């Protein structure tokens, strides 16, 4: 998605930071909804993705997904999939492209994803 007039300007990542991008339009839309519902928590999640997207000390609120959900692909490249719980129901799923130091948000929603209920 190319920025257009009126869009927010995101700062480029510093040398030690990760670039955070949307993998699809649904993720971008969900991000906006999540940001409207919980702006502080969404900002904190963005900061975590930017500085430590694969933390060594995983928590219930920030961890790699399990089973078949633990892997995904962006543009045909397989990657690990992580989750940040932003609110009681709100979640961000993202793929980690370690070679390019890029986080690809592939799902953001204000509601709990049913796929993790298995």
Please say if the pLDDT value at position 97 is more than 80. yes
pLDDT tens figures, 30-89: 999 999 999 999 999 999 999 999 999 999 999 999 999 999 999 999 999 999 999 999
Domain positions in the chain are: 19-104
**Global confidence as pTM:** 0.90
**Whats the size of the chain, residue-wise?**
118
Alpha-carbon span 98 to 26, nearest angstrom: 23
CA atoms lying within 13 Å on the CB side of residue 90:
19
């Amino acid at each position: 998605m190319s920025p257009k007039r009126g869009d927010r300007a995101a700062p480029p990542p510093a040398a030690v930071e990760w670039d955070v991008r949307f993998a699809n339009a649904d993720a971008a839309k969900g991000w906006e909804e999540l940001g409207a519902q919980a702006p502080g928590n969404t900002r904190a999640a963005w900061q975590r993705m930017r500085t430590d997207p694969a933390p060594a000390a995983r928590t219930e609120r920030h961890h790699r997904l399990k089973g078949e959900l633990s892997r995904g692909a962006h543009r045909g490249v397989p990657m690990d999939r992580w989750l940040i719980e932003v609110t009681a129901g709100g979640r961000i799923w993202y793929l980690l492209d370690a070679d390019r130091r890029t986080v690809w948000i592939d799902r953001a929603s204000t509601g709990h994803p049913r796929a993790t209920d298995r």
